[in-house]
Amino acid sequence: MEAGNFKHFSRAVLIVLALAASAFACQAACRTTDIENVRYVICSFNVRDGIELFLRDENGATLGQFERVRDTLQKRGRTLLFAMNAGMYHEDRSPVGLYVEGGRELKRLSTADGPGNFSMKPNGVFYITGKSAGVLETKAFARRKLTPKFATQSGPMLVIDGKLHPRFLADSTSRNRRNGVGVKGSEVIFALADDPVTFHQFARVFRDVLKTPNALYLDGSICRLYAPDINRNDFGFPLGPIVAVSAPAGQQR
């Protein structure tokens, strides 16, 4: 092969490899894996991948289901790539703690004590500012005086500055399906345990496997997932806040 032709050939090969890598990245956004004999789904996105929170439609009705989030996005010319329940809520599906959508604070930050997992202090906030994302313990979030574009408060924190929540017990017998979120740099990582796990087990996945310095518990037995790349579209009773990732219609992630 002549030098000129070889150069064009090499350039073409590189383009093909780059496109293949891009397609693989989209397909690999969610993956299933076994960790300590527990089946997990791990979904990883860049903060620039179009991560949003959804609660109600334009008429104030709770969306509640992934299909309704998908339909809402379709009206905006976008395709739903991923969705997951995103924080605890009351019987009327309203958030228990802080909730910010599109820059509008719909529910204030809660520092109140009370029963249940939400109030297992420290609890925390998952937030997106537009250019960055993070998970912070509630008091630390309040001190930062952030004005996020999206935010949801839940609890307990799973990992706090590289350490497990102080109330998690290695020998606990309380097991449940659980989901949560952690942030590592510009990478936002969601995890769902399809098998029952303790808080200690679940938190160690974020700290030791996913390497997220901070991670937040989202919810337990009702945790659900929409991930068409692994053929998941869980259905059940209406949800409260939902986190979703989308892309312009016709484009891959």
Question: What are the strands of the beta sheet with 163-164, ordered from one edge?
Answer: 30-35, 38-46, 187-197, 176-184, 214-219, 157-160, 163-164
Predicted confidence (pLDDT) per residue in 141-194, tens digit: 999 999 999 999 999 999 999 999 999 999 999 999 999 999 999 999 999 999
Percent over 70 (pLDDT), the chain: 88
Q: Helix, strand, coil shares of the chain as percentages rounded to 5? A: 25, 40, 40
First to last CA, the chain: 36
Task: Give per-residue pLDDT as tens, 33-57.
Answer: 999 999 999 999 999 998 999 999 9
* C-beta separation of 191 from 183 below 8 A: no
Residue closest to 227 by CA, chosen among 41, 20, 56: 41
What is the separation of C-alpha 74 from the centre of its chain, rounded to a whole number of angstroms? 21
Answering whether pTM is above 0.85, one says yes
Q: What is the pLDDT of residues 221-251, one digit of tens each?
A: 889 999 999 999 999 999 999 999 999 997 7
8 Å CB contact between 141 and 109:
yes
DSSP characters over 152-176 = EEES-EEEETTEE-TT--TT----E
> Quick one: how far is CA 216 from the chain centroid?
10
